[in-house]
Structure 1
Amino acid sequence: MGVVVFNISATSAHVSWPVSPNCLDTFYSVMYDPNWNSLLMGYKRKSFMIEERIPVSQTSTYLHHLIPQTAYFLCVTCQAANPVQDQCQVFSTPSDSNDPHDRAGWELAMGVWLTCCVLLLVIAGVLLWGCVHTMCCVPTRGGTTTTRTSIARQDMMASSGIYANSSEDSGKNGGIVQPPPLLSLLTPLTT
């Protein structure tokens, strides 16, 4: 039996099949299901969700209330028979192009995606700027350059009262102040 599905829309389809002279029952059984378990279970009658009974005088029917963008598994058999492979057909319903919700949902998803991309670019830019700004050398008052960690060390030593900058030390070390030895930090300061 050659089952043909035609005039498929988002919610309906026409099905036709040739006359079966071996079908002595009173109706054809048109079974279809959007669930592919029907196919996987080996064409069992009980695995189909929907079954319509069509009189044997007819060889076509109109399926309605289908779901848009859905693949269906359909079989046409005589009244009490389980379907076989040549009595079955697979077809898909297209999307309902007039549905404004499909377009709106797509536009919303695209907007969220673009917003996330822009936010990630801004965050990456801020992080890159911070890394570059931290690593760059900063000129000091004397015309020499020091790194930010040296400046931070000088500020810390100046606030603790152990900062001693003589012109002699500056000449030896190229303007970079060396921290005092650890031993001098451990001895108490006396006045």
Structure 2
Amino acid sequence: MAVTVYNISATSARVSWPASPNCLDTFYSVMYDPNWNSLLVGYKRKSFMHEERIPVSQTSTHLANLLPQTTYFLCVTCQAANPVRDQCQVFSTLSESSEGHDRGGWELAMGVWLTCCILLLVITGILLWGCLHTMCSIPSQVADCCLLVTNSSHQDMSVSGSVVINCFLSHIRLDHKK
């Protein structure tokens, strides 16, 4: 029997299970306990603090009055049976202000992303300035080329990029002639 716990909130959860044709009793027992560590020794009915009886015609129920941020151990069995491992599930309720935490996490992630983008733009600007400053401090023919690059604010990026590359290659050729 595969027990499924879903729609979990801070104080409630929904539980469903497949119908059991072998269950000839009049109800299913939905047993749950927040102190699940003590239940690991054995699955005994008397170990559970809470038990709800659900008619065999139903295969789901709504659990209410749960504690926020609490881990529960839950089992679903036929009326008279002790639970076995595949009839049980562990789940945790959310905090009371989980929506606020989700939004705060999103805002933090956006802040980190924006800060990284700005930092990357600053580093790129510094590196570009350093490269142009280094290339423009060599003899006059290369300096004319660099002035063309720095003064061309209306050129499209592909033309400006090719001028920078040509300027850089001229700089390399002048260094090899020395």
Which band: TM-score by shorter chain?
A: 0.5 to 0.7
Deviations 1:15-48 (A, max 9, x none): 0000000000000000000002453231110000
**CA–CA separation in structure 1 for the residues paired with 2:98 and 2:85:** 35
Equivalent residue number for residue 19 of structure 1: 19
**CA–CA separation in structure 1 for the residues paired with 2:9 and 2:56:** 26
Equivalent residue number for residue 29 of structure 2: 29
Q: In the alignment, is the contact (CA less than 8 A) between 1:23 and 1:78 conserved in 2?
A: yes
Equivalent residue number for residue 43 of structure 1: 43
Q: In the alignment, is the contact (CA less than 8 A) between 1:38 and 1:48 conserved in 2?
A: no
**CA–CA separation in structure 1 for the residues paired with 2:69 and 2:88:** 20
Q: CA deviation at 1:98?
A: 7.1
Aligned counterparts, 1:32-111, within 5 A:
32-97=32-97
Q: What number of residue pairs does the alignment pair up?
A: 100
Which structure 1 segments of 5+ residues have no match?
Answer: 101-191
Q: CA deviation at 1:91?
A: 0.1
Q: Does 1:5 align with 2:5?
A: yes
> Residue type matched to 1:7 in 2?
N
Deviations 1:35-64 (A, max 9, x none): 024532311100000000000000000000
Deviations 1:110-151 (A, max 9, x none): xxxxxxxxxxxxxxxxxxxxxxxxxxxxxxxxxxxxxxxxxx
> Residue type matched to 2:69 in 1?
Q
**TM-score normalised by length of structure 1:** 0.50
Bigger RCO (CA 8 Å, 6+ sep): 2
**TM-score normalised by length of structure 2:** 0.54
> Residue type matched to 2:40 in 1?
L
User: Once superposed, which parts of structure 1, at least 4 consecutive aligned residues long, lie more than 6 Å away?
Assistant: none
User: Matched residues, percent identical?
Assistant: 82
Q: In the alignment, is the contact (CA less than 8 A) between 1:41 and 1:47 conserved in 2?
A: no
- RMSD value, Cα: 1.7
Q: In the alignment, is the contact (CA less than 8 A) between 1:3 and 1:17 conserved in 2?
A: yes
- Bigger-Rg structure (1/2): 1
**CA–CA separation in structure 2 for the residues paired with 1:74 and 1:98:** 22
**CA–CA separation in structure 1 for the residues paired with 2:74 and 2:6:** 13
